[in-house]
Amino acid sequence: MTWQPEIDELARRHSLKEEMGGPEGVDRQHSHGKLTIRERIDLLADPGTFDEMGKLQGRTVYNDAGELESFSPVSRVRGLAKVNGRRVHVSGQDFTIRGGTARTDDGGVDIGHGHPDANQLRLPNINLLDGAGGSVQEFDDLGRTYIPDGDFSNYCNLLSISPVVTAVLGPAAGGSAPIPPLSHFSVMAKGTGQVFPGGPPVVKAALNLDIDKDVLGGSEIHTKISGVVDNIAEDEADAISQVKQFLSYLPDNVWEMPPRIESTDDPNRRDERLLSLIPRDKRKPYNPRVIIEGVLDEGSFFEIAPDYGSSRIIGLARADGYPVGVMANNPNRRGGSMDSDAAEKSARLVQLCDTFHIPMVVLMDDPGFMVGPESEMNGIERSGARLLYSIVQSKMPWISFICRQSFGLAGSLQFRPGPHMFRRYAWVSGHWGSMHIEGGTSAAFRRVIEAADDPEAKRLEIENSFQRIASPFRTAEASGLDLIDPRDTRAIMCDFVDMAQGVIKTQLGPGIGPTYRP
């Protein structure tokens, strides 16, 4: 006697699951320029490492003899895999089956069969989204309606424990819409990904508005205007590649050290471009990416949300092989001023780095908060306050370099003085204050200027008197601020980050600050 017939039946059912929605459904998916969920997992996972959970789950029909007549798999695929040798939890929707829509009666009741999630395993969690959201068709199948009861508690708790990454590869509609902003990093495939709580038919019914799905919730909206999604990808392969790169900077969970790699870039390298990069004319811009290239490990910078809040450049990089967070002002966008969008994405980076114990490197040229009616309507004070709160509550090691300017509250927000490991330097090209001399002179000496025979000449006279005392050497003499040769920035930064590892070891575990907020 042998159990081979049952083993053969098991293999047959596995093959039914792998057929997904059948040839017609797969062909339809490909005709829309999209990969299937299994093709996506093949791109993501190291070959042969995907261990699927619940592979027999689905809706079945049996004949009177107890033989399987039909099997419809559930529209979700999940399991464990290895990505670049590291184990992850991966979950994705199968659009070939009912448009990726889940059903309340799929596979009956889950009574628990040892299917641990990323929360229990303390592993990175990867979401591959491609689902059309709920459908009234289910009401007809069930013969009733039901009360929505989505439970996001475990998912939200995971944000304080392990990295959560989302790739939007098709529609992320209905209950999937909050997932991209409820992630440490999200990326959307251009032309195929969309995010919205209700798609065009719902918008038509609610607002009598005809709208294309990409106009409603595509990459142009969510990576450039709303900030719901961090990065755009040229295609699905690029999106999955970005997922892999982002995870390479992060530990599996908050109890582990950020992963270091061997670096071939000399930590004492001096980039001669930095000596003459900053113009003496304070109004002239320059390329801030030269600073990033000059001080961080070559080719290691991974930018996050490049098209949102673009007056601030943020991302992850490496310093002598160690992961670091990076914030830099972009003088080519709004003069580098912090607007609401820039403050929003900066706060998210601070929270990310604090959660996973990654040192922060700030390359500062901050003229202050963006001013004006538009900035006020966008709630710059609220966004700035949120960034302030995130910084004050953070505890990871922090090093700041004033490359050109630091003014007002926005300038002070890029520092993190306090009880935790912190260091500040300034380039000899730096200048600073509570406000700019130019604007401050007009405000503080308005009556004197207006009463002068030549108001413009008087204004320039007062400004010049203040400019003479604005030398960074005077600040250094009075306060002990360390002025440095710009070309020494990399060596100083790498030494600080290496020293910070001993501090980070004492901080491992869940943070003491606020719960992660998207």
The 10s digit of each residue's pLDDT in 266-296 is 999 999 999 999 999 888 999 999 999 999 9
pLDDT at 514: 45
Q: Is residue 398 part of a domain?
A: yes
Please tell me whether residues 125 and 205 are part of one structural domain. yes
Residue 366 lies in a domain: yes
Residue pair 327/313 in contact by the 8 Å Cβ criterion: yes
Is residue 117 assigned to a domain?
yes
* pLDDT category of residue 360 using cuts at 50, 70 and 90: very high
Residue 70's pLDDT is: 78
**What confidence category does residue 410 fall into, taking pLDDT thresholds of 50, 70 and 90?**
low
What are 227's two structure tokens? 């900030």
Q: What is the SS3 assignment for 324?
A: strand
pLDDT digits (tens, 9 = 90+) for 315-350: 999 999 999 999 999 999 887 788 999 999 999 999
**Mean pLDDT calculated for residue range 477-494:** 94
pLDDT digits (tens, 9 = 90+) for 160-182: 999 999 999 999 888 888 999 99
211/71 same-domain check: yes
Residue 373 has pLDDT above 60, yes or no: yes
Q: How confident is the model at residue 418 (pLDDT cuts 50, 70, 90)?
A: low
Q: Where residue 46 sits, what CATH number does that domain have?
A: 3.90.226.10
Q: Is 321 inside any structural domain?
A: yes
Locate 493 and state its tokens: 């930064």
Task: Give the pLDDT score at 323.
Answer: 98
Distance CA 286, CA 215 (A): 34
Give the range of the structural domain holding residue 221, as residue numbers without chain letter.
4-247
Does residue 266 lie within any of the structural domains? Answer: no
Claim to verify: residue 312 and residue 422 sit in the same structural domain: yes
CA-closest candidate to residue 320, choices 274, 362, 260, 363: 260
Q: What percent of the chain has pLDDT over 90?
A: 51
Task: Please name which of 510, 461, 235, 493 lies closest in space to residue 351, comparing C-alpha atoms.
Answer: 510
CA 343, CA 48: separation in Å to the nearest integer? 42
Same domain (yes/no): 240, 280: no
Distance CA 419, CA 409 (A): 20
- Do 160 and 122 belong together in one domain? yes
Higher model confidence: residue 200 or residue 328?
Answer: 328
Residues 155 and 283 grouped into a single domain: no
Domain identity same for 41 and 141: yes
What number is the average pLDDT over the span 74-89? 93
Task: Give the chain's domain count.
Answer: 2
Same-domain status, 33 and 182: yes
- Do 238 and 343 lie in a common domain? no
For residues 173 and 216, give the distance between their C-alpha atoms in angstroms, rounded to a whole number.
12
Average per-residue pLDDT in the chain?
A: 86
Residue 515 in any domain: the answer is: no
Residue 55 identity (one-letter amino acid) = K
Q: Does the residue 514 lie in any domain?
A: no
Same domain, 142 and 14: yes
pLDDT of 152: 75
**Token pair belonging to 395:** 């505890």
pTM of the model as a whole = 0.89
Backbone angles phi, psi at 205, to 5 degrees: -70, -35
Q: Is residue 391 part of a domain?
A: yes
Kindly state whether residues 344 and 387 are assigned to the same domain: yes
Same domain for 62 and 181, yes or no, is yes
